[in-house]
Amino acid sequence: MSAARPAAARLRVLPLTSWQATLLLVERNAITYRSEWKLFITGFLEPVFYLLSIGIGVGQLIDTFEFNGQQVPYAEFVAPGMLAASAFNGALLDSCFNFFFKLKHQRLYDSVLATPVGTGDVARGEVVWGQLRGGSYSAAFLVVMLLLGYIHTWWAVLALPAALLIGFAFSAMAMACTTWFTSWQDFEKVTLVQVPLFLFSATFFPVTAFEGWLRWVVECTPLYRGVVLCRELTTGAVSVESAISVVYLLVMGTIGLVVVRRRLGTLLLT
């Protein structure tokens, strides 16, 4: 047969490893982003604005907070919170809005799954893409923190992987939930979860603001785990709790990924 099709010899269709297939989704997204670089650049500013406004503006009304036995100036207290929160917000934006658009409106994955690329590759590809974007914001934010003199410990280097971990956990989980959405109305529910998590996860004030069982609830929420993890790393007050947070977020992300993969199968491969 190939003798009759000489041109075919030139074109080599190679079996894809799952890592390659994952990166292909990333490549696709990168191309669509070429025309939206303004959106990409400005996304980085959000946490910086929060840091300058709340951390410095409001910070002048507050002295210091105690955190794991250290006295921490307010801006240094808020900065890691913003690092975690921006990873969280970015993950939600990508994995709810953008993912929903591709899944339900553009029906992108219908065509992707007709190729050797599979549902697992799609799920991983979207998460990896989200992390590349979120990760570059986090790295830039850490540089800003360093320039403002908020970092005094080498532990802070690990805050970057910590932010990536937060992004991963929320991306995967949010994508999993999005597979059940049917219309844009459902996004009101995202706001309903996103805003309270952002505001009450000890981002702007210590968890001691909550009392009794309420404090327990807050300590069990995922963004709180991310915020304290980042705070422990940037202030150097690392503890056993840091390990708990890491495991918590890893488990959450993995469950999310498995669910996304399954749901894509039931939704698209029928």
Partner 1 sequence: MATAGTARTPAAATPRAAQAGRLSTVEAVRRMAPYWLTVSLRTWRGSVVSAFLAPVFYVVAMGVLLGGFIDSDPARLEGAPTYLAFIVPGLVAGHAMQTAVADTSWPVFSNFKWNRVYDSMVATPITVRQVAVAHLFFVWVRVTVVCAIFDLVVAPFDVYAAWWSPVAALGAQSLTGLAFATLMYGYSCRISSDAAFGVVFRLAVFPLFLFSGAFFPVANLGPVGEVVAKLTPLWHGVNLSRTCSLATLEPGTALLNVGVLLAVAGLGAWWATSGLERRMAS
Partner 2 sequence: MIQARGLRKTFGEGASAFEAVKGIDLDVRRGEAFGFLGPNGAGKSSTMRMIAAVSPVSGGELSILGLDPATDGPAIRARLGVCPQEDTLDSELNVRDNLVIYARYFGISRSDARDRADELLELVNLTEKARAKVDDLSGGMKRRLTIARSLVNRPDLLLLDEPTTGLDPQARHVLWDQLFRLKQQGVTLVITTHYMDEAEQLCDRLVVMDKGVVAAEGSPADLIRQHSSREVAELRFGLGDGHDDTNPHETHAAGVAAYGDRVEVLPDRLLVYSADGDAVLEAVHGRGLRPVATLVRRSTLEDVFLRLTGRTLVD
Q: Which residues in this chain contact partner 2 in the complex, by CB under 8 A?
A: 1, 4-5, 7-8, 10-16, 20-21, 24, 27-28, 31-32, 106-108, 110-118, 268-270
HSE toward the beta carbon, residue 80, CA cutoff 13 A: 34
Decide: is 39 part of the binding site for partner 1 (CB under 8 A): yes
Cβ–Cβ under 8 Å, residues 141 and 47: yes
Q: Which is nearer to partner 2, 1 or 61 (by Cβ)?
A: 1
Residue count of the chain, please give it: 270
Give one word for 102, left, alpha or beta, with left for phi > 0 and alpha for psi -120 to 50.
alpha
Among 65, 97, 155, 181, binds partner 1 (CB under 8 A): 65
Site membership for partner 1, residue 50 (CB under 8 A) = yes
The helix (run of H) or strand (run of E) holding residue 234 is helix 222-235
Asked if 251 is part of the footprint of partner 1 (rule: CB under 8 A), the reply reads: no
Nearer of residues 140 and 238 to partner 1, judged by Cβ: 140
Q: What whole-number distance in Å separates Cα of residue 179 and Cα of residue 106?
A: 14
The token duo for 229 is 């993890």
Contact (Cβ atoms closer than 8 angstroms) between residue 24 and residue 111: no
28 binds, among partner 1, partner 2, none (CB under 5 to 8 A by kind): partner 2
Q: Which residues neighbour 63 within 8 Å (Cβ) at sequence distance 6 or greater? A: 74
Q: Which of the residues 167 through 186 are near partner 1 (CB under 8 A)? A: 185
SS3 98: helix
32 binds partner 1 (CB under 8 A): no
Query: Taking the complex as a whole, how short is the minimal distance between the CB of residue 137 and partner 2, in angstroms?
Result: 21
> Should residue 200 be labelled a site residue for partner 1 when binding is judged by CB under 8 A?
yes
The footprint of partner 1 (CB under 8 A) covers 36, 38-39, 42-43, 45-46, 49-50, 52-54, 56-58, 60-62, 65, 185, 188-189, 191-192, 195-196, 199-200, 204-206, 209-210
